Amino acid sequence: MNVSSDETPAPSRRREWTTFLILTLVILPALAIAFVGTWGLVVWISHIINGPPTVKF
């Protein structure tokens, strides 16, 4: 096999693109939605426990 050291074989390059697309189109958006949803739940529960935020003079 005559492959130079700076070239990536085709199957490896295809797998790299597939992994990149899965990360950018599925996993990262799902993590962002989960993070925002978790933050909203934390704020909602804190408002249930502490009451809504008020301005104290």
pLDDT single digits (tens) 35-47: 999 999 999 999 9
Helical spans, DSSP H, in 1-57: 10-22, 28-50
pLDDT of residue 42: 96
Q: Which residues of the chain have pLDDT under 50?
A: none
The separation between CA 2 and the C-alpha centre of its own chain, rounded to angstroms, equals 39
- State the DSSP code for 52: S
Question: Are 17 and 24 spatial neighbours (Cβ–Cβ below 8 Å)?
Answer: no
Question: Are 3 and 11 spatial neighbours (Cβ–Cβ below 8 Å)?
Answer: no
pLDDT of residue 1: 56
Instruction: Report the distance separating Cα 7 and Cα 57, nearest Å.
Output: 68
